[in-house]
A and B are shown apart, each in its own frame.
Chain A
């Protein structure tokens, strides 16, 4: 390894062209990921997308078929032993000894590491102080999951892998788990988490990669994923009884029965012109909406898990291009779909 003095910190995780097959099934088909130290990175994707496969290759549990993987400067395929004292792992499904108490469990796992974190500190990070002397057996599902995170934190790792930390939780347990992940970010840990939930990725992650069928189909901060922020907003309103003026900044188009839509570059100006015209003309615009693609729209579009829709509008064109898409057309894509959805309603 080179000695760097002024260069920025090397990435905590660096993956290039990662591939993995199980027999005929290509579970991971060339994934590139880079995670900076201190970053919270979410791998977002539907069932069977290849999230666990990817994460377990990075953890050293599974061997990759191809590609380059460096985690904390080590190759998990060959240096798993050295890597393990520096990472914390929360597996998708896992257990601990059910007859030990919460505090005993954390201290037992902590002693495996060269620099364990103080048990009480771990307990407060994961919010299990009150359960410190309870047997694992008696914990609720959400509490057990927090204990899983606690165990992963016991060795004070630099990097944490959380494979679906909140799947199966009720909404309040999810909120609690989110607080735990946020507290990890606050103490400077690098976190790679996987999830099915858009809101989770949006809430927790600095950066999100959407993975579908073994490929990353979009990547970026949740706010601008797949060019979400670049998609022009649309104004939708009921068709007024009188003609709409021409000088609104964009031409209104019909979007379903009795509804008009304006796609605009200058939202504020268009909105101002539209509403001042409406007031002076005595036209009611009740039901006026400003529409943008949500992260969920983008996700469903990218992963192709949207239920099939009726009609042969622009969404049909969208669907045709769904397979074999590249990341660069994701933005125009999201836009196309949003238009399509509007007309279907």
Chain B
């Protein structure tokens, strides 16, 4: 392409990294995660809400209700332990779904996404970096919640064979909620509407799925029925198995993964780099 090389400042040879495009993509992704991470911690809203909320709720709920017990199937568990599992699930939903949906909408409306789209950054690298970062935050929150629960409430933490299944559920769930967060962005008209849309979709599900108020033996059937359609219930029940020793079901993992895959498809089809008009 002689016309290309005729321009000033462009010498022959092409990009030096063309021999290792994969390596370059990996380096680029990791660097991108670093920048996302810096921006995350410096933004009081994202860092504060994502981090403070689950831990704050854990303290409040256990302080209010921590002395009671919850019946899960055949088992009876202490409410304090129950909330450690529930808040771990809540933390993942916040770090992945809420955080990604809000930040992405905001970036879209600010024109950050449009600008990024005008650079050679591969879109996959951008998304992967965002998802990886959310995953890291989610894992960190789960670790903190578990450690806090173990120390303060003597909650048991997943270990041994349970740990393996727990990690699978955690990673599948985090990935799925990231994908759903990206997907819902395409239904949010503008940044002002983001909190309303995000909360309207996720808060009812959190309640229906027993995250804030345990679904005891006498929970209405319709509530459980509705909750079982959506991924939050299955994700929470998968994590509970790790903490509470309730039975682990691969069907839960499958349903969450299916929601994630659907979210990914919607995100890919409907994603917009420019503010919606």
> Chain A's nearest CB lies how many Å from the CB of B147?
28
> Chain B's nearest CB lies how many Å from the CB of A229?
30
A12 to B39, CA, bound (A): 37
> Chain B's nearest CB lies how many Å from the CB of A328?
31
A156 to B8, CA, bound (A): 10
B118 x A84 contact (CB < 8 A): yes
Q: Which residues of A contact B17 (CB under 8 A)?
A: 114
Contacts A9-B6, A99-B42 known; 17 new A-B pairs at CB < 8 A: A74-B4, A81-B120, A85-B120, A86-B4, A87-B118, A89-B115, A95-B107, A95-B111, A95-B112, A97-B39, A99-B39, A99-B43, A113-B119, A114-B17, A115-B10, A135-B42, A155-B119
> Chain A's nearest CB lies how many Å from the CB of B262?
28
B120 x A112 contact (CB < 8 A): yes
A81 to B112, CA, bound (A): 18
Most interface-central of B1, B38, B120 (chain A CB within 10 A)? B120
15 sample A-B contacts, Cβ–Cβ < 8 Å, listed by A number: A61-B274, A72-B4, A73-B3, A81-B120, A84-B120, A86-B4, A93-B111, A94-B115, A99-B38, A111-B31, A114-B16, A151-B115, A158-B9, A188-B9, A190-B7
Q: Which residue of B lies closest to A3 (CB)?
A: B2
- Which residues from 204 to 242 on chain A have a C-beta closer than 8 Å to any C-beta of chain B? none
The total of interchain contacts (Cβ-Cβ below 8 angstroms) comes to 107
A243 to B39, CA, bound (A): 79
Instruction: Give the residue of A1, A151, A156 whose beta carbon is less than 8 angstroms from that of B3.
Output: A1
Q: Which residues of B contact A61 (CB under 8 A)?
A: 114, 117-118, 274
- Which residues from 68 to 124 on chain A have a C-beta closer than 8 Å to any C-beta of chain B? 72-74, 81, 84-87, 89, 91, 93-100, 104, 108-109, 111-115
B3 x A109 contact (CB < 8 A): no
Does A249 sit at the interface, judged by CB under 8 A? no
A176-191 contact mask (Cβ, 8 Å, vs B): 1 or 0: 0000000000001110
B10 x A100 contact (CB < 8 A): no
B114-155 contact mask (Cβ, 8 Å, vs A): 1 or 0: 110111110000000000000000000000000000000000
A185-202 contact mask (Cβ, 8 Å, vs B): 1 or 0: 000111000000000000
Q: Which residue of A lies closest to B10 (CB)?
A: A158
Task: Tell me if B's interface is mostly helix, strand, loop or mixed.
Answer: helix
Known contacts A37-B7, A38-B8; decide if A100 and B38 are in contact (CB<8 Å). yes
A94 to B120, CA, bound (A): 17
Q: Which residues of A contact B7 (CB under 8 A)?
A: 9, 12, 37, 72, 86, 158-159, 190
Does A2 sit at the interface, judged by CB under 8 A? yes
B118 x A73 contact (CB < 8 A): no
Known contacts A104-B38, A114-B15; decide if A96 and B8 are in contact (CB<8 Å). no
Instruction: Give the residue of B1, B6, B28 whose beta carbon is less than 8 angstroms from that of A37.
Output: B6
A96 x B112 contact (CB < 8 A): yes
Most interface-central of B3, B35, B114 (chain A CB within 10 A)? B3
Instruction: Give the residue of B8, B31, B110, B119 whose beta carbon is less than 8 angstroms from that of A84.
Output: B119
Instruction: Give the residue of A84, A94, A159 whose beta carbon is less than 8 angstroms from that of B111.
Output: A94
A89 to B15, CA, bound (A): 21
Does A335 sit at the interface, judged by CB under 8 A? no
Does A10 sit at the interface, judged by CB under 8 A? yes
B120 x A188 contact (CB < 8 A): no
Does A246 sit at the interface, judged by CB under 8 A? no
A95 x B38 contact (CB < 8 A): no
Q: Which residues of B contact A155 (CB under 8 A)?
A: 119-120
> Chain B's nearest CB lies how many Å from the CB of A151?
7
Q: Which residues of A contact B110 (CB under 8 A)?
A: 94-95
Known contacts A10-B3, A72-B4; decide if A91 and B114 are in contact (CB<8 Å). yes
Task: Tell me if A's interface is mostly helix, strand, loop or mixed.
Answer: loop
B121 x A112 contact (CB < 8 A): yes
Q: Which residues of A contact B107 (CB under 8 A)?
A: 95, 97
- What count of chain B residues pass the 8 Å CB interface test? 33
- Which residues from 24 to 69 on chain A have a C-beta closer than 8 Å to any C-beta of chain B? 37-38, 59-61
Q: Which residues of B contact A38 (CB under 8 A)?
A: 8
Does A4 sit at the interface, judged by CB under 8 A? yes
Instruction: Give the residue of A12, A95, A97, A113 whose beta carbon is less than 8 angstroms from that of B120.
Output: A113
Q: Which residues of B contact A151 (CB under 8 A)?
A: 115
A112 to B17, CA, bound (A): 12
Q: Which residue of B lies closest to A8 (CB)?
A: B6
Q: Which residue of B lies closest to A148 (CB)?
A: B115
A91 x B8 contact (CB < 8 A): no
Most interface-central of A3, A37, A89, A112 (chain B CB within 10 A)? A112
> Chain B's nearest CB lies how many Å from the CB of A304?
27
Q: Which residues of A contact B6 (CB under 8 A)?
A: 4, 9-10, 37
> Chain B's nearest CB lies how many Å from the CB of A58?
11
> Chain A's nearest CB lies how many Å from the CB of B37?
11
Instruction: Give the residue of B28, B43, B115, B121 whose beta carbon is less than 8 angstroms from that of A96.
Output: B115
Q: Which residues of A contact B114 (CB under 8 A)?
A: 61, 91, 94
> Chain B's nearest CB lies how many Å from the CB of A119?
14
B4 x A89 contact (CB < 8 A): no
Q: Which residues of B contact A72 (CB under 8 A)?
A: 3-4, 7
A1-25 contact mask (Cβ, 8 Å, vs B): 1 or 0: 1111000011010000000000000
Nearest 10 CB-CB pairings of A with B: A95-B110, A73-B3, A114-B15, A99-B42, A94-B111, A85-B120, A158-B7, A112-B121, A89-B118, A99-B39
Instruction: Give the residue of B16, B31, B112 whose beta carbon is less than 8 angstroms from that of A97.
Output: B112
Q: Which residue of A lies closest to B6 (CB)?
A: A9
B2 x A4 contact (CB < 8 A): yes
